[in-house]
Structures are given as structure tokens and as C-alpha cells.
Amino acid sequence: MGRWRVFGLIVGAGLVADQVTKLYINSTMSLYQSIPVVQGLFNITYLRNKGAAFSFLANAVWRLPFFVAVTVAALLVIVVALRRLRDDQWLAQIALAMIFAGAVGNLIDRLRLGEVIDFLDVYWRSYHWPAFNLADSLICIGVALVAVDMLREERPPVS
């Protein structure tokens, strides 16, 4: 299967999963409502984030144009990087598709709502990781896979 077909399938599946879950949360829960899933560890909690990770730039007046511009630039870099990969770099191809899908998923929220819907709430006692969504998960997993691929490529020459 060609790299662009795999890319399209992963991006499509990631976007559908991200947007369907966000639409479901938005239509079935009230803002700030929380549903325990694993007591003391994980809740589904409906939140909205105007910023980036850890609410970075949430109160900046120019945040929306900034996030849109950065996302579009990142998407272009991903497409260029994908074109430059070798055919045998399947892990990097999958990783870039995951990052692309996550970036587009959050971009859709920003353009549609001016903020991102978050709902995955992981915590231990009173220590909460910032809430996130499937798009954020796709980006993080994709970045981790890129790192793994880079480490695999760093093999010393066989003598």
C-alpha cells in the first residue's frame, strides 16, 4: 500500500475518532461535568482549553491566529517530511500521519469553537495531569514513534 494511502487512512481514522468523541462529549455532558471511570486515576471530564498544552497562551488576545498559523506551518512541514522519507521508514510514516491527524483535529476545534474540547482526565490523588483529548494523544504518540524511528536509524556502521 502506498505511503499516501496509509497516510490518508490514518489521518482519516484519527480525525473521525477525535471529532466523534468531542461531539459526543459536547452533546451529552455539561461543561465541567466529570464521570469517574477508574476511581482515583481516570475520569471523563468535559473541559474547554483556549490555550495549548498546560493552557499556554490561553489569555493572549492573538492566540487564535497564532495557533492557526503554527498548525498550518507544522502541517506543511509534515507533508514535506513525509515526501522525503524512504519507503522502508514505515514507522515514521505512521507517526507523521498521527501527528497530522491530531493537529488537524485540534485545528478544527479552534476554528469552529475558538478553543479545544478536552475530556481525558488522568490523576493521582490531588495531582491532575492537564486534561487532554484524542488529538493530543495522537500527537504525543506520533512524536514518541518519531523518536523511536530516529533511534533505530542511529545504528553505528557494521565493521
Asked if the structure places residue 112 within a domain, the reply is yes
pLDDT at 68 (0 to 100): 87
Q: Is 87 a catalytic residue?
A: no
Angle between the 90-113 and 134-153 helix axes, to the nearest 10 degrees?
A: 150
Domain limits for position 38:
3-149
109 is catalytic: no
Residue 156 lies in a domain: no
Q: How many Cβ atoms sit within 10 Å of the Cβ of residue 138?
A: 28
Pairwise CA distance, residues 29 & 152, whole Å: 43
Q: Report the percent of the chain where pLDDT is more than 70.
A: 87
Q: Calculate mean pLDDT across residues 21-43.
A: 97
Q: Which of these is catalytic: 109, 121, 136, 149?
A: 136
pTM: 0.88
> Is 124 a domain residue?
yes
In-domain check, residue 21: yes
User: Distances in Å between the alpha carbon of 6 and those of 97, 139, 152?
Assistant: 8, 17, 21
Catalytic residue among 18, 109, 118, 121: 118
Band of pLDDT at residue 159, cut at 50, 70 and 90? low
C-alpha radius of gyration, the chain, whole number: 17
Domain count, the chain: 1
Q: At what angle do helices 63-84 and 90-113 cross, to 10 degrees?
A: 160
Among residues 11, 9, 3, 34, the alpha carbon closest in space to that of 107 is found at 11
Q: In this structure, is residue 143 part of a structural domain?
A: yes
* Helix-strand-coil split of the chain, %, nearest 5: 60, 15, 25
